[in-house]
Amino acid sequence: MFVIDTHLHTCLSPCAVLDMHPAGLVDAAIRAGLDAVAVCDHNSAENVAAVARAGRAAGMAVIAGMEITTAEEAHILGLLPDIEAALALQAKIYSLLPGRNDERVFGPQVIANEHAEVLGFDEHLLSGATTLSVDRVVAAIHDVQGLAVASHVDRERNGIIGQLGMIPQGLALDALEISSRTTLPEGRAAFAPKGEFPLVCASDAHEPKDVGKAVTFLLLGEPTLDELRRAFADKDGRAILGGGRPMEDLALHILDLAQNSIEAGATAIEIDLLEYPSADRLIIEVHDNGRGMDGEILAKATDPFYTTRTTRKVGMGLSLLSEAARAAGGKIEIDSKPGVGSRVRATFQYHHFDRAPVGDIETTLMVLLVSHPDLDIRFKHCLESEAFELNANILRSSGANLASPDGLATLREAIRKGEAGLGRPSVSPRLHS
């Protein structure tokens, strides 16, 4: 399983900050816990090679890309197979991109290398629109064997629906992108109710702090364009497991807690999500049989600058959950014994203005069960008196291979059916400006 942000800008884009030079972008991606990124500057690929070199040096996979502005002022991402394809597409875009940049109006368009050194400035009007219509942009991306993704379809400004009022029938898009402003369930309801297009989530980051603000979880053999193509088409066991806003929605806090348990050597994890609107109470509880914590570690567990993890520099998960609970009138409790396991319980006032949304339970369960198909994971979700329970052991005993295409379909269907049975109010999606 890979965590990928498929839409990032460097300092080449006039709306990005100078700290988004190639090395700065890669450093921010590593700190965000990403496995791969796609570099998609506006109407140009001048910095892609430098980001790729910085990525190789740091062990970060980089996918070439470009965000093209159509004649209708809709943004379309081109995710591309290599640097050569990116430069070939760039040559075509440059020939159909009128105007010259005025730094005083639009800002500098910095070409930089992997050592944060400025090599020059692009003089094309990268913030402008090409003379290519939407269908011709998609065709140009496909001509270089790329994937065409409609950018931030949940936004009115420069989103294809906001600009055209619809997605033209027959337009050969490979996917739609949901921004960090919208949850994936809202996106499914609004933009792909019949599953016509796969959905990905991405940050559209223009500065380091936003890198990884929205991500996509993918089941791939490796983070390459060919593997993405298979995942978008749901072929050969590759799949989009889901997406979201790490550490903002409660569902992804649950995912982080479960990952803590797995890193602590747990073989069994019980997860409870209990919603009681009538009592103004929401509870998250994760119980595992991992190695547990002694008193010294337990006392530091919610310190954002303390972690036993080797996979990232700071352990923000428990700290952020504790902060989220307190902000919503609740608290976090941790019980742990060495050699026995740990129990984390977070409570929230259900109707508190600052309570984070539950978010995408489907993504959390898909990522957990597919990434760790042999673990004993039990999930229970209650909404008042209604309950949905999912047990990995029961699924396996029925013959489901959770890492196979059939197993993925069975698991996704079970989650959607169970969540739908809770009677949760339907989402009323809307476009964001």
> 186-195 pLDDT, tens per residue?
777 777 765 6
Place of tokens 């700071």: 314
Q: Which domains does the chain have, with CATH numbers?
A: 2-244 (3.20.20.140), 250-420 (3.30.565)
- Write the pLDDT tens digit of every residue in 306-336: 444 444 433 346 788 889 999 999 999 999 8
Mean pLDDT of the chain: 88
CB under 8 Å, gap of 24 or more: what pairs does 269-274 form?
A: 269/375, 269/376, 269/377, 269/378, 270/378, 270/380, 271/377, 271/378, 271/379, 271/380, 272/380, 272/381, 272/382, 273/358, 273/361, 273/379, 273/380, 273/381, 273/382, 274/380, 274/381, 274/382
Provide the CB-side half-sphere exposure for 105 (13 A, CA).
8
Closest CA to 237 of 216, 219, 225, 218: 219
- Write the pLDDT tens digit of every residue in 21-58: 999 999 999 998 899 999 999 999 999 999 999 999 99
What DSSP line would sit under 162-219, residue for residue?
HHHSS--TT---SEEEE-TTS-HHHHHHHH-TT-SS-EEE---BSSGGGTTSSEEEEE
Residue 411 is predicted with a pLDDT of 87
Closest CA to 345 of 255, 252, 271: 271
DSSP state of 35: S
User: Which amino acid belongs to residue 201?
Assistant: C
DSSP state of 262: H
